Structure 1
Amino acid sequence: MNFASIAPDESTPFRIVFVCTGNICRSPMAEVMLRDLITRSGLGRLITTSSAGTGDWHVGEQADVRTIAALAARGYDGSHHRARQFDPEWFLDLDLVVVLDRAQERILRNWATTDRDRSKVRLLLSFDAAQAPLLDVPDPYYSDDAFFGTVLGMIESANEALFAQLAPAIRQGVR
């Protein structure tokens, strides 16, 4: 994705949403980690991030306890997260819709009503050259605690790559 034309200001920040299946494992990890990168960089007023799921099974619930534990083990706080379902009407207000696997990519592109909205949907691993061939971040929900840490590492690396591409364009738009 080419971020060269981004020139947000405080009144119109660049808006990113991460989407997985139930919004209790992968997408909250990505949201919390990217928000931390954004805050530490001083760009918090210029980039916003959130997360959602394609399904409604967990709406209103906290992130999975293993997600919260994996995040805490790396110094992140995921305890305030509450799951929600993606609403196709959000496309109008979003700049980037980052999905964690091809199932969400298919669903969100089907929900999008315009080519412009479909073009906003990107796989998280596509931003990380080392992981891009994998395509999907595996869902740790039916796995053990250790696998949550493995998935978190994948997301952390991909988020750093995404941020490395996004931040220069955002900073360029800052006057």
Structure 2
Amino acid sequence: MAKVLFVCLGNICRSPMAEAVFRHKVAEAGLAGRIEIDSAGTGDWHTGEPPHEGTRTILRQNQIDYSGMRARQVRQSDFHEHRYIITMDASNTKNVMKWAPGSHDAEVRQLLDFIPERRGEDVPDPYYTGNFQEVYEMVDEACGLLLAYIRTKEDM
């Protein structure tokens, strides 16, 4: 089973959006039993909260389920439990690596690195910008390419 963890700052906007979008794409591909998806934040401010209303709205508009999702913080054990840890920006990557144990097999990458022309770019935080549509479009495109990457790498 390939396990994917999406990470942003508070786990209420970008990473739950990516989790829901990726779940949707995985289900459409008939791979729900082969890929497990979760999300977390580098901060603990929103632990236990559902996704931000802006995230819920854009997901509903695109008929993507987000039921049962609650914010949590990244744990050191995530590096042993997940094969892919996908961050939303460079700051998230830096903070995630603070939790990394001395040895782990998790592949840590930024989400937009899966879009060749956006490699190295950050997914802007709609908590501050309010632009949930722009973020959704980035996440949707990158998640499709991430799924293709995982399917190839995992021979699915």
> Common fold, TM-score beyond 0.5?
yes
**Structure 2 CA distance for aligned equivalents of residues 62 and 102 of structure 1:** 24
Unaligned runs of 5+ in 2: none
Relative to the length of structure 1, the TM-score reads 0.83
The aligned counterpart of 1:92 is 80
**Structure 1 CA distance for aligned equivalents of residues 72 and 13 of structure 2:** 12
The Cα shift of 1:30 comes to 0.4
The Cα shift of 1:143 comes to 2.6
Q: Say which SS state the counterpart of residue 98 (structure 2) adopts.
A: helix
The superposition leaves residues 69-117 of structure 1 with CA deviations (integer Å, 9 ceiling, x where unpaired) of 0111112122431111111122111101000000110011222123545
Q: 1:158 aligns with which of 142, 150, 153?
A: 142
The Cα shift of 1:132 comes to 1.5
Q: Say which SS state the counterpart of residue 142 (structure 1) adopts.
A: helix
**Structure 1 CA distance for aligned equivalents of residues 117 and 111 of structure 2:** 12
Q: 2:123 aligns with which of 126, 137, 152?
A: 137
Unaligned runs of 5+ in 1: 1-12
Any runs of at least 4 consecutive aligned residues in structure 1 with deviations exceeding 6 A, and if so which? none
- Supply the AA of the counterpart residue of 2:127: Y
Cα-Cα RMSD: 1.5
Q: Say which SS state the counterpart of residue 111 (structure 1) adopts.
A: coil
Give the fraction of aligned pairs with identical amino acids, expressed as a percent: 37
Contact in 1 for aligned 2:79/2:101 (Cα 8 Å): no
The aligned counterpart of 1:49 is 37
Q: Say which SS state the counterpart of residue 51 (structure 1) adopts.
A: strand
- Supply the AA of the counterpart residue of 1:87: R
Work out the number of aligned pairs and report it: 156
Q: 1:20 aligns with which of 8, 19, 22?
A: 8
The Cα shift of 1:130 comes to 2.7
Larger radius of gyration: 1
